[in-house]
Amino acid sequence: MLTNNFLSWNMSQYRDHYGRLSSCRLVEAVSRTAKCSKAKLRRWLALATLCPVCIFWPLDAQQAASARTDKAIERADPASMQTFQIPSHGALLNAFVYVAAGAGPHPAVILLHGFPGNERNLDLAQDIRRAGWDVLYFNYRGSWGSPGDFSFSNAIEDTAAAAAYLRQPTVTKLLRLDPLRIVLIGHSMGGFMAVQGAAADPAIVAFGLISAADLGGRIPQPLPKEREQALMQRLSAGYAHEGMAPLAGCTPASLARETLANAAQWSFLAKVDALKNRPALVVTSDDGLAPGNDAFAAALRAAGDNRVTTLHLSTDHSYSDQRTALSTAVLQWLATLVSVQPTP
What pLDDT does residue 340 have? 60
Of the candidates 61, 172, 156, the residue with the CA atom closest to the CA atom of residue 106:
172
Q: Which residues fall within 8 angstroms of residue 7, CB to CB, at 6 or more apart?
A: none
How high is the pLDDT of residue 53? Answer: 42
What per-residue confidence (pLDDT) applies to 76? 84
* Of 142, 216, 186, nearest in space to 280 by CA: 186
Number of C-beta neighbours around residue 269 at 10 A: 15
What is the distance, to the nearest Å, from the Cα of residue 290 to the centroid of all Cα atoms in its chain? 21
Task: Convert 20-33 to b/e letters by CB count within 10 Å (16 or more is b).
Answer: ebbbeebeeebeee
Cβ neighbourhood burial of 51 (10 Å; 0-12, 13-18, 19+): middle
Q: Are strands 204-210 and 308-312 parallel, antiparallel or unpaired?
A: unpaired
Using CA atoms in the order 125, 131, 134, 140, what is the torsion angle rounded to 10 degrees? -20
Cis peptide before 116 (omega within 30 of 0): yes
Interatomic CA distance for residues 90 and 307, integer angstroms: 38
- 255: nearest Cα among 116, 144, 131: 116
* Alpha-carbon span 126 to 159, nearest angstrom: 20
Three-state DSSP at 132 gives coil
- Residue by residue, pLDDT tens for the chain (344 residues) are 444 443 333 444 444 444 444 444 544 544 454 444 555 546 644 544 544 444 334 545 666 665 555 565 557 899 999 999 999 999 999 999 999 999 999 999 999 999 999 999 999 999 999 999 999 999 999 999 999 999 999 999 999 999 999 999 999 999 999 999 999 999 999 999 999 999 999 999 999 999 999 999 999 999 999 999 999 999 999 999 999 999 999 999 999 999 999 999 999 999 999 999 999 999 999 999 999 999 999 999 999 999 999 999 999 999 999 999 999 999 999 999 976 655 55
Q: Nearest-CA neighbor of 162 among 86, 239, 78, 238? A: 86
Residue 65: what pLDDT?
62
Predicted confidence at residue 145, as pLDDT, reads 97
What local confidence, expressed as pLDDT, does residue 260 receive? Answer: 96
Collapsing DSSP to helix, strand or coil, 196 comes out as: helix
Give the length of the chain: 344
> Quick one: pLDDT at residue 54?
43
For residue 344, what pLDDT is reported? 54
Phi, psi of 224 (to 5 degrees): -60, 140
